[in-house]
Homo-oligomer: A and B are copies of this chain.
C-alpha cells in the first residue's frame, strides 16, 4: 500500500529539472518506500514556459502564482527552486499553509531571513529539507560513515575548494532567468552562497561547528551588461572567495571558491586529515573516494582509490543501482535525497539538512562575507 506525496514545483530551471528527475526515478530504485511522489503541479510566472516544462516532465497541472499553488488542497509539499531572494516569502507562506517544504540552497539571502524561515517551519511543524545534495553522493556519505566510526581519529585539517571557470569572459552579461546567479539582487552573493555554501554544508556535517573565519573576496570583472536593462552595471557579487577558519574540534579549515579557475568546470573537492587516516573527494570523479590509512602495513601504505560502486553491498545507496564497477552520476544524489526525505516521512525523523541545519551554513557565509568587508576575523553567528 503506497501513499502519494503530491508535489508542487516552483521554478523550472536547472534545479527544477534535477529535482523532478529525482521524484520520477525514486520509486523505480527504492520500491520499498511507502510514499510515492506525484507531480501535481509546476508553478512559474511565465505560463508558456511553465507549461512546456510541465509537458516535458509530466506535471499534471500548472500555476503562474505560487500563492495559488499554496491554496490547493491537493498539494502536500512544495519544492522551492527559484532565485534566492524569493525563498523567504514563499517558504514562510508555505509553512503557514501547512505544506512540507524542500527548498533549494542556500536557504536565504542572509541569516536573518533564514532565521525567520526556520521559525516558520518549526512553528508549523512541517517537514522540511534543503537541497545540499552532495551529502548524498555515495562517496561523500561513505566519508561521513568513516568519520562517525572513528576511522580518522582526531581531525587536524579540513580543506575544500569549489572551482569553476564559466564567467571569465567579460562579455558575459548578468541577471535574468539564466544568469541570476551573477546578479547580487537575486542571488545575495556570488560564489559564497552558490558554491562555498555546498563546501560549508558538507564540512559542518563531517567536521562539526566552525567558530570563526577570516576571508577575502574579489570581483575580477567590475561591470557587466544586465540582461534586463541592457546597460552596463556594477557587478555586486563576489567572483571569488577564500577563507580560513577554526572548527570547534580544534581543526583548521581552508576554503576557496571561484568562477575564474580555468580548466575546472565543477571541481568541488575536499580533504580531511586525521590522526590515523585521511580522506579526499572530488566532484569531477564523484564515484571515487581516496583514503589513506596509516595503520596499514608500513611498506604498503598508500592512498587507496575506492571505486564506490558497491563492493558487496557496503557502499551507501549503491545496492539500489547496478552492479559493482558501474558508476552512477551527478543526478543520483537528488534521487537519494528524495528517497531519504520520503523515508523520513515514514519514520517521523527529520531529513537533514533541515532549515535549521542549513541556517548554520548561512551563518558561516555571513561571517565570511562580513570578514571580507571588515578585514578582521569574525565569529560565526
Contacts and interface: CB of A to CB of B under 8 A. Distances in A.
Interface of A: 14, 18, 21, 24-25, 27-28, 31, 55-58, 142, 145-146, 156-157, 159, 163-166, 168, 214-216, 218, 220, 240, 242-244, 246, 250, 252, 254, 256, 258, 260-267, 273-278, 283-287, 289-294, 296, 298-307, 309-312, 314-315, 321-332, 375-377
B325 A283 contact: yes
B325 A164 contact: yes
Given A299-B311, A314-B299, A332-B329, A156 B304 contact: no
B142 A258 contact: no
A254 B252 contact: no
30 contacts: A28-B56, A145-B299, A156-B220, A156-B240, A215-B244, A240-B252, A242-B252, A242-B254, A243-B244, A262-B274, A262-B275, A262-B276, A263-B292, A263-B294, A265-B326, A266-B323, A266-B325, A284-B327, A289-B302, A296-B304, A298-B314, A299-B306, A299-B315, A300-B306, A303-B304, A304-B304, A322-B330, A327-B330, A328-B329, A376-B376
Nearest to A330: B326
A262 B273 contact: yes
B216 A246 contact: yes
A47 to B, nearest CB: 18
Contacts of A303: 263, 304-305
A242 B244 CA distance: 7
B305 A301 contact: no
A265 B312 contact: no
A273 B261 contact: yes
Given A261-B273, A286-B327, A302-B307, 4 more contacts: A265-B323, A287-B329, A293-B300, A375-B376
A-side binding surface: helix, strand, loop or mixed? mixed
Contacts of A300: 146, 291, 293, 304, 306
A66 B312 CA distance: 34
Contacts of A164: 325
A147 to B, nearest CB: 13
A188 to B, nearest CB: 21
A272 B55 CA distance: 44
A304 B303 CA distance: 5
| Number of copies of this chain that the complex holds | 4
B306 A258 contact: no
- What are the 5 tightest A-B residue pairs by CB atom distance, in nearest-first order? A265-B325, A266-B325, A263-B292, A302-B304, A302-B306
B291 A302 contact: yes
A246 B294 CA distance: 36
A287 to B, nearest CB: 8
Most buried by B among A157, A246, A276: A157
Given A242-B244, A309-B265, A326-B329, A156 B258 contact: yes
A306 to B, nearest CB: 4
A273 B301 contact: no
Given A31-B56, A142-B299, A299-B315, A292 B326 contact: no
Contacts of A292: 262-263
Contacts of A304: 296, 300-304
Contacts of A254: 242, 254, 256
A264 to B, nearest CB: 7
